[in-house]
Amino acid sequence: MTYTCGIVEDELLSERMLRGYLKRFPFLEIAWVCSYAEDALEFVEKKKVDLLILDLQSVPIHQTSAFYSLVAHQRCIIITSVFPIQMVNIPLDVVSFLNKPFSIETFSQAVEKFIEIVDD
């Protein structure tokens, strides 16, 4: 089975890294890429994805933010961030929280968790 992914990442090097990591998983297909959570809200409405890889670009996160809306409405999310999870002020019901920089091994573990969730 193939699963679709959306990527929200504003740093070109991080986006390239994610694209490279995702190529290692033939069952994951990139549906769209954008730079900001505000843009992702439109993409999610037009083309829903199975997995959202979402960069946390600033803290604190306000309940009215696009980031918060995505986390509240998307089922499977991997959050990437330079900020430690302790700085995030919202309850995170996400597949994984990955601190940058992260390895392919760490990313693979997050993908494995995603597969467990969708196959459950």
Number of folded domains in the chain?
1
**Whole-structure pTM value:** 0.91
Phi/psi at 71 (5° precision): -65, -35
Enumerate the β-bridge partners of residue 109: none
Question: What pLDDT is attached to residue 62?
Answer: 73
pLDDT in tens, 26-46: 999 999 999 999 999 999 988
Sign of the Cα torsion 37, 43, 44, 50 reads negative
pLDDT in tens, 48-90: 999 999 998 865 567 778 888 888 888 899 999 988 876 666 6
- The domain spanning residue 93 has which CATH number? 3.40.50.2300
Domain of 112?
3-119
Q: How many CB atoms lie within 10 A of CB 95?
A: 23
